[in-house]
Amino acid sequence: MTTTATTDPMPTRVRLWVLAAACSLAVVTYIHRVGFATAVSEIRAPIGLTDGQIGALMAAFMVAYGLFEIPWGVLGDRFGVRSVLSIVILGGSALTGALALVFWLPPKTVWSFSALFALRFLFGAFQAGTFPAISRMVADWIPMDERGRVQGVIWTSSRLGGVIAPVLLVWLLQATGDPRRAFVLIALLGAAWCAAFWPWFRDRPEDMAAVNEAERLLILRGRSARRATAHDSLPWSRAWRSRSVWSLCLMYGCLGYSGNFFITLLPTYLETHRGISSETSAALTALPFAFGIAACLIGGVVSDRCIRRFGPRWGRPLIGAVGMAVAAAAILAIPWAADVRLLGLLLCLTFAGNDLAMAPAWAAAADIGERHAGALSGMMNMMASLTAALGAVVTGRMFGASGLTLPFILFSAAYVVGAVSWLGVDGSRTLSTPDHA
């Protein structure tokens, strides 16, 4: 007599391909975002931009980015990630390519600046949908106790985009000798991503034929009774009463005020106010993002381990608060760093501390928000965008008035407030539970 051994099927790995799609999108997103900041040093003279105008352009992006975070997050929760991501990436790519049109306008006039301002505002409005939609994708496709490391990998990829962008843009500007061609070429990256994503991706694991039952059950591990894929609206009254929501938004607002300096005004600070060459400036702009790659991954992995060791109450806040405290100490010393090597080290330490908090923050938004992860992460990122806009305007004006010390004191203070705010984030109570507080 023969016996047949039966084993449970191994889970398929479609969720890993979904993660790969999110990571590649994060790279493209930051190439577009950081690429403009890098190119500003090359186009400011031909177009006739002042420090104050550059700060206003960065603020235009961040204000629009903030204002459209919640609407895109709600749309992603309501209509699905596949449609929302395709729209926002195609729109953002088209607006990146449209920057080439500004060079046809008379330079050093209100027309050229107004066109740039409008394009940056609209670009921010489209890019606002990217990470709330990715957050919802993580909530739909990733088990709860793996979200930290997954968010770490995604934000690691964004930092890889930040490393690539300055080097890529400087190379394109030198190879083509024309900023217009450089903008069009990086815009094509987004169009290529959409062409691969739209035909393949589906919003829910059960709608993807390649996902077997074992993987579907694995994805659902550790969730509350109600499905994370339910398309209903955010319980606003519960969110407004939630200490975790307020703490998360305040913390991320502080992170946005200080951290976006690296994405917006760092090249201007290094070249214009520290007298550093464009090649060295490109290296000093890219290097912190390289440290951010490691920090994002470490923050995600450690926060998942803390979840298993200390539970969801302290799993995310511990590593996030430590990272922001490190950033506060390092950025405070930057104005007094006369040596380029010491300046580079402090920039890297600051951004590493900043990015230790990134994966825990977005994982906490998924933990607390669950099926409302898109809207909640949109609220969180909206706060960061608005404070980043404020930071760009304030810092740009201070730089223009030769105030090179006070901005970094304010950056440090914001990081301290953010570290303290982490103490109010409690991932053990979700917005799906009626008694959330």
Q: Give the model confidence (pLDDT) of 360-384 as tens digits.
A: 888 888 777 766 666 777 788 888 8
Of the segments 67-71, 72-76, 334-338, which one has the largest average pLDDT value?
Answer: 334-338
Q: What is the pLDDT of residues 106-156, one digit of tens each?
A: 777 778 888 889 999 999 999 988 988 888 888 888 887 787 788 788 888
In percent, the amount of the chain with pLDDT more than 70 equals 90
CA–CA distance, 57 with 114 (Å, rounded to integer): 10
- Residue scoring higher pLDDT (32 or 375): 32
Per-residue pLDDT band at 7 (split at 50, 70, 90): low
Per-residue pLDDT band at 225 (split at 50, 70, 90): very low
In this prediction, residue 118 carries a pLDDT of 93
- For the segment 264-268, the average pLDDT, to the nearest whole number, is 81
Q: Which are the contacts of 352, defined by CB distance < 8 A and separation ≥ 6?
A: 288, 291, 292, 294, 295, 323, 326, 327
- For the segment 292-314, the average pLDDT, to the nearest whole number, is 83
In this prediction, residue 428 carries a pLDDT of 65
- Residue scoring higher pLDDT (27 or 235): 27
Query: Residue type for 172, please?
Result: L
CB atoms within 10 A of CB 225: 6
In percent, the amount of the chain with pLDDT more than 90 equals 26
CA–CA distance, 147 with 371 (Å, rounded to integer): 14
pLDDT above 90: residue 411: yes
Angle between helices 179-200 and 14-47 (to 10 degrees): 160
Query: Residue type for 128, please?
Result: A
Per-residue pLDDT band at 332 (split at 50, 70, 90): very high
Two tokens, residue 269: 């600070």
Any idea which of 45-49, 163-167, 395-399, 427-431 has the lowest mean pLDDT?
427-431
In this prediction, residue 236 carries a pLDDT of 65
- For the segment 408-420, the average pLDDT, to the nearest whole number, is 95
Tokens 């449609």 — which residue?
83
pLDDT averaged over every residue in the chain: 83
- Residue scoring higher pLDDT (14 or 173): 14
Per-residue pLDDT band at 60 (split at 50, 70, 90): confident
- Residue scoring higher pLDDT (380 or 354): 354
Per-residue pLDDT band at 254 (split at 50, 70, 90): very high
